[in-house]
Structure 1
Amino acid sequence: MSRDIDVLVLGGAGVDTIVHVPELPLPFADSYMIRPGIETRAGQTGDFVALGVHALGLRTHHLDLIGDDHEGELVRALHRDRGIALTDVLQPGGTKRAVNLVGPDGRRLSLYDESRSRESDRLPEETVRTLAAASRHAHVSITYPCAFALPALRETGVTLSTDLHDWDGANPYHEPFAHAADVVFLSATALTDPERTMRRIVERGRAEVVVATAGADGAYLLADDEMTHIPAVAPRTPVVDTNGAGDAFASGFLFGRLNGEPPKRCARYGAVAGAHACTVPSTRTDAIGRDELLSRVAEVESASVTH
């Protein structure tokens, strides 16, 4: 069977309104004067992964429900302008949107509008199967309709990855994604014992690799029953925003995996891509390119050998 798509991204399309705040948490006040301002742009987790793997030269296709509204046009224009294939299914409740409060140190607080999704929202099964059958790999966002697509994806035989984001290790909503994927990403932010949660994912699901990202502390990789700490990579320019760093890490990791690299090297790709994302203002949607990624990884590996 022809595999014309390297990475099929399901879900996670939407629009963010970026609000720069003087500090986080934000103390109560009647009003704040905001600089550099407030800006709305297309780009949520699925968009960022699609942009990330596309920038690394992987043939990419994005599938999601998107509204017939101004925000939906922003999402469509983003994909059109970047040359990323998009199959959009009408979302009656409108395009997903969020507000991101971004502090001076680049930390963010995201407020997601849950009113856009409906209980009946589904990705068409035939579309899911057709695209998955043409793909080498599928990355599944944890947005509501994607949970119902997991059985059809598994039946096509395509390998799966997912990002559980700030899962606490207990919320049952995340479990179908965690247990269906071959590669699982998550943040260590809400985990009291990351290794225990990571090993439980492997024991209860089918994951071959689990990665827990930990910001400036790097990441933790569980592969072949071995736990490894992956050091953070210092970005070349100052950190301005952490939004999208986890998505960039996943993109870099998947690039390595689809090119046959071992898990530790894939994680290094992810660390470099994630560090680059932290230097990109939240109002932009730029991802690291293939040549820059490989060059930076070579530098990091050379430095680790000399030390």
Structure 2
Amino acid sequence: MTRRYDVLGIGNAIVDLLARTDDDFLVTHALRKGSMTLIDEARAEALYAAMGPVTVVSGGSACNTIAGLASLGGSAALIGKVKADELGELFAHDIRALGVDFTTMPAADGPATARCFILVTPDGERTMNTYLGASQDLSPADIDAEMVAASSIVYLEGYLWDPPAAKEAFVKAARLAHSAGSRVAITLSDPFCVDRYREEFLGLMRTGAVDIVFANEHELLSLYQTPNFEEAVGYLREESLLGVVTRSEKGVVAVTREETVAVPAAPIEKLVDTTGAGDLFAAGFLFGLARDFDLRTCAHHGSLAAAEVIQHLGARPEQNLRRLAEDNGLPV
């Protein structure tokens, strides 16, 4: 069956504010290096005042994935909540300029458009502080049933599992997708997110609510509460779904009950900023899945997209990923 969209992403609609910094700044402001911390509006204003020059670009985990998929030449749509303010307009303009269908109505009042302060140290590590603002007000009413049914894969962002209404929106989207014969994928997003919702995420996996799970190595270990990677992969193998686990420079492992496929990380010249690595990996992998490529080819697409984004500042690709894939002998 031909669908209008390869992937529909549902997640936090966020504007990223990126700045280079050093470890002393992180210590001074009591920031946990390499983590993602939720903050309130007052903390957001204080950090912004202290950061110095920033680069402003639309972001959000699932949104970055959808942007990467569009760069690969995939057809994509997005559901996410912004406010009708300056940053909300910037976000909508940026995502639509990529050819992504984004029709979610902005909020007329309430919290401001979400923003994420991303501090990048010289080693390329990123420390994120996120004010969720309007993004957490996503509700079941924002789920477009026709858009869901028109998508081969519906991709859900684990970061958005916190607000109750957004959780209901996820459940509605998953139900509609399966009713239409579409697949549902989720990214676990962050080890701390897994710590909060371990049983609920496992419930989604074991009740068939999701068909595909993306996680990095730390999230997988948190999910199964073990320090041993091979043991965690063994648990994942017993689930009735496709599990995709990224391991930074160690590559990726794709796991089903029938097969386990390991693919090395794509080579890079210089690590600049790890922001968006997992998001862009998911973009490449989902692009391949939507075209029924084998798991190894999907993983190579993902690894190449991730390698591109970590060699520059920001979580969106700077190169045309479709051309990059063709240059590297990958099918598109």
Which among 183, 189, 206 is matched to residue 165 of structure 1? 189
Q: Secondary structure at the match of 1:77?
A: helix
User: 1:56·1:290 contact (CA, 8 Å) conserved in 2?
Assistant: yes
Residue of structure 1 equivalent to 2:210: 181
User: 2:20·2:121 contact (CA, 8 Å) conserved in 1?
Assistant: yes
Report the aligned-residue RMSD.
2.9
Question: Taking structure 1 as reference, are residues 29 and 187 closer, same or farther at Cα in structure 2, changes over 3 Å only?
Answer: closer
Runs (4+) of structure 1 exceeding 6 A deviation are 29-35
Deviations 1:176-221 (A, max 9, x none): 55452222111112422344444545545x42x2111111121222
Rounded to whole Å, the distance in 2 between the matches of 1:116 and 1:128 is 18
Q: Secondary structure at the match of 1:212?
A: strand
Aligned pair 1:58/2:74, yes or no?
yes
Question: Taking structure 1 as reference, are residues 55 and 285 closer, same or farther at Cα in structure 2, changes over 3 Å only?
Answer: closer
Rounded to whole Å, the distance in 2 between the matches of 1:68 and 1:34 is 26
User: 1:139·1:160 contact (CA, 8 Å) conserved in 2?
Assistant: yes
Q: Secondary structure at the match of 1:109?
A: strand
* C-alpha displacement of 1:24: 7.7
Q: Secondary structure at the match of 1:47?
A: helix
- Match of 1:90, as an amino acid? P
User: 2:18·2:55 contact (CA, 8 Å) conserved in 1?
Assistant: yes
Q: Secondary structure at the match of 1:26?
A: helix
Question: Taking structure 1 as reference, are residues 132 and 283 closer, same or farther at Cα in structure 2, changes over 3 Å only?
Answer: closer
Give unpaired runs (5+ residues) of structure 2.
Answer: 31-46, 222-226
User: 1:269·1:297 contact (CA, 8 Å) conserved in 2?
Assistant: no
Residue of structure 2 equivalent to 1:154: 178
Q: Secondary structure at the match of 1:93?
A: coil
Question: Taking structure 1 as reference, are residues 134 and 121 closer, same or farther at Cα in structure 2, changes over 3 Å only?
Answer: closer
- Match of 1:158, as an amino acid? S
Rounded to whole Å, the distance in 2 between the matches of 1:38 and 1:97 is 12
The share of aligned pairs that are identical, in percent, is 24
Rounded to whole Å, the distance in 1 between the matches of 2:120 and 2:61 is 16
Which among 233, 247, 252 is matched to residue 214 of structure 1? 247
Greater percentage in helix:
2
Which among 257, 260, 274 is matched to residue 227 of structure 1? 260
Rounded to whole Å, the distance in 1 between the matches of 2:270 and 2:260 is 30
Which among 99, 102, 106 is matched to residue 117 of structure 2? 99
Which among 241, 244, 248 is matched to residue 280 of structure 2? 248
- Count residues in correspondence: 292
Deviates more, 1:143-152 or 1:79-88: 143-152
- Match of 1:77, as an amino acid? H
Per the normalisation by structure 1, the TM-score is: 0.83
Rounded to whole Å, the distance in 2 between the matches of 1:267 and 1:188 is 15
